[in-house]
């Protein structure tokens, strides 16, 4: 068997080895039933227990209040760009469109706003940004008094921008895309009207998206809302109006169990900070050889974008190639921004982050010595 790679991918990302080993052992014979879970009926007792257990563990890990529903949906986080306005927009006065506020700080929130504009007037809360390298001070934000909700992306995977705290929106429901930092720190769910997250970064494998929504926000979908995107329909059928992604939900449940055994969100938060500190510390100590792309007060703990020698593409390509020779993979930046990026999700260990830090230090020494 090939040596396990150190995977710094932004998604699909690394999974805990214990989770993979359990899934492997149960692939052909799930809990002595004589068949794999993917062969079981999604309406049978065996899978019903799997999805109920997954929800129970997630509720415990995030301390989700009883008046919030947990949905397991398909279509990835991008489908939620449509689901949110189709379900949460309030009717507007005759002759007017409903309004929604969007805090745009990166690629994904910009994409969500573009999709929402098909259904409502989008109020862009922040001043326009030439580059997504920080979060404008809240004193510059302009909210709409009649907005149906306020939307933001808590961590921009592409750009490496993360909110250090929860935006204050008063009585207007706050919607958060937490696809890339859910379960990496403690969150007060009661501050949000809705949270959603694609699974393939901290929750499990691709194929399922978690939606956590306050129950009073369910049941107001637009008549245009497709059946499968209606939160009320999904809630009424226990996320099983049609056949759900059974394997993805099973893997999510195993990840939740693993997180529970590791100590929960508190432990994950401490590890996330330790991993981020290792890389950002090396960047800051490099005397400009490495440069962090994002302003210090908005740097993501889980997606660390950086450049080498002002964005020298030749040296950056060499860095990626030599990292691969050292069993470290997926360090290229997103195609839209270039540079380099290390993603440090929960399954990435502190030791692996330090391994990358050591490589960065050694690489700098070698390159600088060659230039003398």
In the chain, what is the greatest distance between 2 CA atoms, to the nearest angstrom? 72
For position 95, what pLDDT does the model report? Answer: 82
DSSP 325-346: HTTEE--BPPTTT-SEEEE--T
Distances (CA, A) of 220 to 3, 69, 97, 168, 173: 51, 15, 16, 24, 14
Q: Which of 57, 69, 201, 257 does the annotation list as catalytic?
A: 201
258 is catalytic: no
361 a catalytic residue: no
131 CB burial (10 A radius; 0-12, 13-18, 19+): exposed
Interhelix angle 264-284/45-62, nearest 10 degrees: 60
Residue 142 makes CB contacts below 8 A (sequence gap 6+) with 123, 125
Domain 17-262 sits in CATH at 3.40.640.10
Domain locations along the chain:
17-262, 264-370
- Please, what CATH class does the domain formed by 264-370 belong to? alpha beta
pLDDT digits (tens, 9 = 90+) for 335-356: 999 999 999 999 999 999 999 9
User: Smallest Cα–Cα separation from 32: which of 12, 44, 46, 14?
Assistant: 46
* Integer Cα distance of 257 and 246 in angstroms: 17
Please give the pLDDT value at position 92: 83
In the chain the first and final C-alpha atoms are separated, in Å, by: 42
Residues 101, 141, 154, 177: which is the catalytic one? 177
Rg of the chain over all Cα atoms, to the nearest angstrom:
22
Q: Is the pLDDT of residue 2 over 80?
A: no
- At 252, the pLDDT band (50, 70, 90 cuts) reads very high
Is residue 177 part of the annotated active site? The answer reads yes
Catalytic option among 101, 108, 258, 275: 108
Confidence of residue 31 (pLDDT cuts 50, 70, 90): very high
Q: What is the mean pLDDT of the chain?
A: 96
């Amino acid at each position: 068997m090939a040596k396990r790679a150190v995977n710094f991918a932004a998604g699909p990302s690394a999974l805990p080895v214990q989770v993979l080993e359990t899934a492997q052992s149960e692939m052909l014979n799930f809990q002595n039933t004589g068949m794999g879970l993917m062969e079981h009926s999604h309406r049978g007792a065996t899978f019903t227990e799997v999805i109920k257990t997954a929800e129970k563990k997630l509720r415990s890990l995030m301390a989700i209040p009883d008046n919030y529903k947990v949905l397991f949906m398909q279509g990835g986080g991008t489908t939620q760009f449509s689901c949110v306005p189709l379900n949460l927009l309030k009717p507007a006065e005759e002759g007017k469109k409903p309004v929604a506020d969007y805090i745009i700080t990166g690629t994904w929130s910009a994409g969500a706003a573009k999709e929402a504009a098909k259904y409502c007037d989008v109020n862009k809360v922040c001043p326009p940004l030439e580059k997504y390298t920080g979060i404008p001070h809240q004193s510059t934000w302009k909210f709409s008094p009649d907005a149906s909700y306020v939307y933001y992306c808590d961590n921009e995977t592409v750009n490496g921008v993360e909110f250090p705290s929860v935006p204050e929106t008063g009585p207007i429901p706050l919607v958060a895309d937490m696809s890339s930092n859910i379960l990496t720190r403690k969150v007060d769910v009661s501050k949000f009207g809705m949270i959603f997250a694609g699974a393939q970064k901290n929750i499990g494998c691709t194929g399922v998206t978690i939606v956590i929504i306050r129950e009073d926000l369910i049941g107001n979908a637009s008549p245009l809302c497709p059946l499968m995107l209606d939160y009320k329909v999904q809630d009424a059928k226990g996320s099983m109006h049609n056949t759900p992604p059974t394997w993805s939900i099973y893997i999510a449940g195993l990840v939740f169990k693993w997180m529970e055994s590791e100590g929960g969100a508190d432990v994950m938060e401490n590890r996330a900070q330790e991993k981020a500190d290792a890389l950002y510390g090396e960047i800051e100590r490099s005397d400009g050889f490495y440069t962090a792309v994002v302003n210090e007060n908005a740097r993501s703990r889980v997606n660390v974008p950086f450049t080498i020698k002002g964005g020298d593409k030749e040296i950056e390509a060499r860095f990626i190639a030599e990292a691969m020779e050292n069993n470290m993979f997926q360090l290229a930046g997103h195609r839209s921004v270039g540079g380099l990026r290390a993603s440090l999700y929960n399954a990435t260990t502190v030791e692996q982050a330090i391994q990358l830090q050591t490589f960065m230090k050694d690489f700098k020494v070698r390159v600088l010595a060659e230039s003398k």
